Amino acid sequence: MRRALLALLVCLVAPAAAAQTNMVTPANAGLEQLRSAIGLWDVRTEFLNPDGSVAGAFDGTYDFGWVVPDRVAHGVSRIPALEQVSGILFYLRPATGEIEMASVGRDGQLWVMTGRDTDEVRTTPDVPTADGGVMRLRFTRYNVAADMFESRMEISTDRGATWRRGNHQHFRRRAAGSGEG
């Protein structure tokens, strides 16, 4: 009887164990964020006043491509009306479970934004300001769909205790073959 129970148990457990070893682990959320960003995007950026009203809105592009497939992407952000161009490096840090983006523009200011690779929020460290204070930026991507998403940038001058909105961006993937930005 004991052998029959053991044999039955092996028959029930072995297929389940084999199925577990053949299961496909879902892709890393950070990797999916990178993959979904690759391509050319038309972007409308609304810069906001402290009260949240729109100070100005400008059209531009973001263009992302792979440097190291499924690990590191490069990008260029352009807002022609402001003569603004920024270089971007977007990468995964699997050992720490983070996704990071670094951006630098004509002013030479390097912004490094880090967040969990399972989340859509990235924050900069505190950066010294000209008046002796500090500034921290927080970027949140939301309303994400295959060919569009929104992003908001918030600013804190009290080490993250309070935040005010700085800009709101609307990203729409440019259709293939419709030109470069």
Per-residue tokens: 73: 């992407």
Residue 178: inside a domain, yes or no? Answer: no
For residue 141, being part of any structural domain is answered with yes
The pLDDT of residue 28:
76
What does the pLDDT profile of the chain (181 residues) look like in tens digits? 334 333 333 333 333 333 333 433 344 788 999 999 999 999 999 999 999 999 999 999 999 999 999 999 999 999 999 999 999 999 999 999 999 999 999 999 999 999 999 999 999 999 999 999 999 999 999 999 989 999 999 999 999 999 999 999 999 999 876 665 5
Look up the pTM and report it. Answer: 0.80
Output the pLDDT for position 177: 67
Residue 44 belongs to a domain with what CATH number?
A: 2.40.128.20
- Residue of 114, 139, 117 lying closest to 125 (CA atoms): 114
Query: Is residue 120 in a domain?
Result: yes
Residue 5 is assigned to a structural domain of this protein: no
For the chain, the domain total comes to 1
pLDDT at 2: 36
Residues spanned by the domain of 85: 27-173
Residue 74 lies in a domain: yes
In a domain, residue 9? The reply is: no
The answer to whether residue 14 sits within a structural domain is: no
Please classify residue 77 by burial: count the beta carbons closer than 10 Å to its beta carbon, then call 0-12 exposed, 13-18 middle and 19+ buried: buried
Question: Would 56 be classed as within a structural domain?
Answer: yes
